[in-house]
Amino acid sequence: MRRLSLISIDLLLVALATVLAVVLRGNFDTVQEALLVLTPYMFISVASASIIFFVGGLDRTPWRYSSVADHIQIIILTVLIILLTLGLTFAANRLEGVARTLPIIQAGLIITTLIFARGAAQFLFKRQIHKSADGQANRHTRETILVVGLNTVTELFLLAVQELGSQRVEVAGILVEEAAMSGRAIQQKPILGTVEELQNILQSLEIHGVLVDRIVVATARDRLQPRALEALLEVEKSSNIAVHFLSERLGFQDSSSWLPTQSKREGKIIDEQTQFSLDGSLDHVNFSRTSFRLKRIVDAFGAAFLMLALAPITMVVALIVAMDVGFPLIFWQQRPGLYGRPFKMYKFRTMSAPHDKHWKRIPDDQRSTAIGQVLRQTRLDELPQLYNVLIGDMSFVGPRPLLSHDQPGYSRRLSVRPGITGWAQVNGGRIISAPDKWILDIWYVQNASLLLDFKIILHTVKFVFFGDRINSEAVRQARIDLGLKALLATEVTPAE
């Protein structure tokens, strides 16, 4: 019943997108003429979609848990739907009355509608969780963990995290003992590699801004290969990362026979950072709740439109990146978002691999390429962040998301969604000092409005073409408004 319901909703969205495509592209003299074209094509489109969606298994992932892989699946299945629809329509009436551009418009609208619906479901689900928790979870630091093992216990643990600890625990990935399983996923959590590669995986995650707090082992200790167990113990001895065996935590095994010392963070969730200075409510932001919702709607529709409109440019940039630094094309980093919740921020890669073939770290200045620098200066490397805006991780305007170690605790700048551009970016960008950038971000939060957002977007276009420039007057005014009198006499300094 659940599968039938999900497919029915998707088919309804396909029908609506098809009708809208015919209306947008059609140039009919009468309503009757429009219906003669619309009806057969729409029914064939829906029939094709019902077959493709069912066979492709589009309904297998609940909307609130949809990921990038699911959205890629939507794009592939939509192309198949259009091809099947064109084939059946040609066989029925030789595509009579169907404009050449109609399938392209239809495909774009179907993709946009289905992905937007899933993004909206994710947003509403997260909001419901935050309301039911009454904001208490937002006051605690999230813990990042790795899971070791590929078995039923692993699946049960991931389900438990999803249902009970999604606000406190972030699963960065899974480690296995069989190298052949690398690259796959369980419940949308990637298999990063083998346990023996643990040190390299930790280094790679750190490049992405992901710092692991704990490793949870879902396999019994006596069933692990000796080299895998040795790798786990070595990490626990040489770092602050705790290693927990579920079999021992549940009382099925005795840990005293092998654990020489307890981990430095044994039995507690890390809460060393300063607590969120606000209670996470919108009452501390200048935005009213109505404006906040309106901004989210504008962000979602704007991102969907721009993803479609800029698709040709995005494909060209992807081709350039592939020729310059190779695959993968997309680079991600984990950043703290709204209320400190971590999310993956996507960019096109502009640097070569961080490690050589011997897994030695390559300095950043040796990894940067001339083409990559151009992409960063023109902000074309940030085109994938439209996806972050679409699903609600980011906004078009807001404080730029920082790496976790650059974000001193949960501060006021995290009481709004991070943005692709912001007040600090248009008044100094990458050349302004970190303290001044922080001041400008806090000033934006206290003075946020839709009108200010529009002003920032206009200024963004200007600094993309003319480069970053420090606006000393904006920094000085922000200091005055925030009551930072002690800083008024100091000079506005660029970043080192």
Q: How far apart are CA 198 and CA 202, in angstroms?
A: 6
Q: Is the pLDDT of residue 53 over 80?
A: yes
Q: How far apart are CA 396 and CA 306, in angstroms?
A: 11
Please state the φ and ψ torsions of residue 342, each to the nearest 5 degrees.
Answer: -70, 145
Q: Is the pTM of this model over 0.75?
A: no
Q: How far apart are CA 22 and CA 104, in angstroms?
A: 11
Tokens of 11: 């088919």
Tokens of 44: 């064939």
Q: How far apart are CA 223 and CA 204, in angstroms?
A: 27
Q: Is the pLDDT of residue 79 over 80?
A: yes
Tell me: the pLDDT tens digits for 18-34?
888 877 776 666 656 66
Answer for the pair 420, 345: CB distance below 8 angstroms, yes or no: no
Confidence (pLDDT) at 282: 45
Tell me: the pLDDT tens digits for 103-114?
899 999 999 999
Confidence (pLDDT) at 389: 93
Place of tokens 């392209």: 104
Characterize the bridge pairing of strands 419-421 and 214-217: unpaired
Q: Is 413 helix (H, G, I), strand (E, B) or coil?
A: helix
Q: Is 216 helix (H, G, I), strand (E, B) or coil?
A: strand
Place of tokens 């479901």: 121
Q: Is 399 helix (H, G, I), strand (E, B) or coil?
A: coil
Mean pLDDT of 428-456: 88
Instruction: Give the ranges where 354-449 is alpha helix by DSSP (H).
Output: 364-367, 370-377, 385-391, 423-426, 434-447
By mean pLDDT, which of 79-88, 93-102, 262-271, 377-386 is the weakest? 262-271
- 57: left (phi > 0), else alpha (psi -120 to 50), else beta? left
Nearest CA to 89 out of 52, 45, 33, 50 is that of 45
Q: How far apart are CA 335 and CA 418, in angstroms?
A: 10
Answer for the pair 17, 24: CB distance below 8 angstroms, yes or no: no
Q: How far apart are CA 260 and CA 258, in angstroms?
A: 6
Q: How far apart are CA 324 and CA 235, in angstroms?
A: 35
Answer for the pair 456, 421: CB distance below 8 angstroms, yes or no: yes
E strand or H helix that includes residue 348: strand 342-348
Q: Where are the domains of the chain?
A: 2-132, 138-249, 282-487
Tokens of 324: 């310059």
Tell me: the pLDDT tens digits for 243-298?
889 888 777 765 544 444 333 333 332 233 333 333 334 445 666 677 888 898 99
Q: How many residues does the chain have?
A: 496
Q: How far apart are CA 73 and CA 70, in angstroms?
A: 5
In 210-263, which ranges are E strands?
214-217, 242-245
Query: In 10 A of CB 440, how many CB atoms?
Result: 26
Q: Was domain 138-249 assigned CATH 3.10.450.50?
A: no
